[in-house]
Copies of this chain bind each other. A is one copy, B any other.
Amino acid sequence: MSAIEALTKELSRLPGIGTKTALRLSYHLVKGTKEDVHRLAGALRRVADEVHPCPICGNYCDGEMCGICSDPARDGSVICVVEEAYEVGAVDRTGRFRGRFHVLGGHLSPLDGVGPERLNIAELEARVVAAAPKVEEVILATNASVEGEATAVYLENLLRRQGVRITRLARGIPVGSDLEYVDGTTIAEALAGRREM
């Protein structure tokens, strides 16, 4: 297999990248400078060799612990629970949350054989039980899907005994959207959760 064929094969394994796109990317890389290609290869090796889950929250990190867990300015009394590591950034970039995170690594899905023991749930419980930092609120920010909701309900039952406040993200109309195009279930949730003006 030629070098270009080998690269095309590897690139086409990536999600959302078919054979044609992979071929186009390969030729783009071949046409560019060697330095650019080496920098991309180096970035890949660095990710393979250095990145591992944060021992506290399960987010990916390349140091002893992740940037959020090691930041003393973050409020340790509130934990926002998300399914996947890339969702940490989605919440964090809003700038409206200064607490810590916990990454489950997926959602409960009995049909796929994913029970509580396959997720970072014991670690979450241990954080809530621990004396310091004292956790006062757990925000369940699992996805608004059937599995995400089921996971949230499971966690609520599990953590309620610890006397911690448990909340979840509001359901409602996405900002900027026309009511006409919002599905009925979302409008029903928005009605149920309506607030005084």
A195 interface residue per 8 A CB criterion:
no
Residues A44 and B47 in contact, CB atoms below 8 Å apart: no
The copy count of this chain in the complex is 2
Give chain B nearest CB distance to A23 CB in angstroms. 6
Residues A37 and B45 in contact, CB atoms below 8 Å apart: yes
| A residues 40-64 touching B (CB-CB < 8 Å) | 40-51, 60-62
A160 interface residue per 8 A CB criterion:
no
A3 interface residue per 8 A CB criterion:
yes
Residues A48 and B43 in contact, CB atoms below 8 Å apart: no
With A6-B47, A7-B46, A37-B44 given, can you name 13 additional A-B contacts, CB distance below 8 Å? A3-B43, A3-B62, A7-B47, A9-B43, A10-B40, A14-B25, A15-B28, A24-B86, A27-B86, A30-B51, A37-B47, A38-B44, A44-B44
